[in-house]
Structure 1
């Protein structure tokens, strides 16, 4: 029926019929998504052909050839938005991010019997098993010999930085003396506990661009989903995947808070927030952040929603494995008790440093106020 309607209006609208009989016929005749280039050609041809193109389109609609027209056009618009937003960013990021390699990994898994949506679920587990966990383990093992001396060393570094503001040469000399005194670089050793967190940002950024532009390199990605999310390049219209990602995030926050509370109670360590707020307020902020993930996840394609769900679950699993006494004994990492005592010492040092800075500021303000009074 579609072919007969297209041939009927060939004389009136040859270009429109040519496009539909080419790439457009197959896509419109099935529920498979259409690429953005085909959508643009269809729209431009309707305008250029004038009455002929509009008549053909109206006759197609009367014959009910396109059953899901609204969802089809909305899908095209979503793909077009993603392609336009990712085109410039993709060119900028492809210079230093291995976007194509991640896509090759996904295609490799697909060629060896795994579905595309299954490959999207496996990516975070591979990243944590091959990159994040080995890095965190290495940093913890290399930092272990210096944990007992690190709070005192960091305290001296803070005092040195406070006393030598504006005097770079003297600051470097005193920092070198502190490094020789303790046998290690205190700021560098202190930063190792954040390396595992920092390395995850380029990983997630790479996977974001790789998944959101996957359909440009591998068109089968559009049909690589399952059930209600058959097209991995579009967002989930039922909100099931975004809601699942948000629920997993809330569960992850709850489990991590409970784990930290259990360990701090077990080792009799009173932990506090690293910011100038209470720990309860920090936990509430974490829950609010988890809830705010819902609209963000809905704006992402279904393929990246699957990645987010797997990433949240793998992060919670990674946290519990790294806090396991058995895993720490096998990898020669510092024990939980030793590490929690170190964190308690660091918190005490931070409080002392803040009090010293506050007292110094008050003293300077009093001196400046006395000078102003003398001048008056």
Structure 2
């Protein structure tokens, strides 16, 4: 056992020496002839070590002569025998070529780049950076890219022109809403009177009178050509446009489009960042307030019993200011331009000749005494609205209880409300003995 371990230790040391000698030969000689000599030397050393180790570890009866091994004999890569036995076959060494170096890339030129990567302005196209497409947001981005590249407009100019085009397209809807608003204002006393009667009938629980006044209100508005839903045409048409512009410009700022970093104006040169001086949020809130005050008809809101909504709209610019402070300048540029264009449209429609051309009726001014509904202010309006809600809830609860009692009375047993059965003859009243009349004496 100890002899075997010693032989194994000597074989290990010989293998380490062989590896060191091979490394030295590889570093000193790199020609094909030297490589062949290195292979022959390494094979001689391995053959000597293998034979020595086999004689020590392998039993004599298991040793096979090389002549009897046949095709399984060891083969050495060498052009000559090199002193090896003739029974050992040889094989010519094939010199592999060196690994070629990496090819040099071709020279870059703008002409070689496809038009799908760079646009006419020499900037990356929106399609190459993941923008654009055929969705509403993508169409807005494609229009912005067209205005910026084809017309060579700065980004703030492209946003302003795009906003002007969109507001011009929906201008006929603004005219339609102004016509309807003028008709509602001129017929406000009659509408307020019917509205007041309908409210009183509903609060008193008289559903028939409330339905009758509601029918009269509908017929009156049909005769006068008034429809409250027409006033919602402009907000409903502008909402999808505003959302598309908002999301499209936000994606352009967050990607970001590199040319938008210096595509601003004056103090907001970088359209991808928020305004550091908070001037754009202030302008946006102020113009939104003016748009609500001038564009929204307060008389119409009063006629429709929407005093609370009027105050909510007035508070909207103050509520959104903390959120607009962190918006990119591109979004606020669009919003401010939209508000300014809206104010300009309302100012133009206030000119008498323009109103006459578009067949918009002249707004009549009603005296406060001629209106059935009096102004109560913010606190009074809120209190009245709260009282109306409470009364309406009580009436609905009373109607629900009446329906439950009616259903229970129709399904349950009869309730006895009489002292005798009406289907049988009425019994005679009983008379006490002391109350009976005495018979007269017989003569």
TM-score (structure 2 length as normaliser): 0.43
**Greater RCO, CA 8 A, separation 6+:** 1
Larger Rg: 2
Please identify which structure carries the higher helix content.
1
TM-score (structure 1 length as normaliser): 0.49
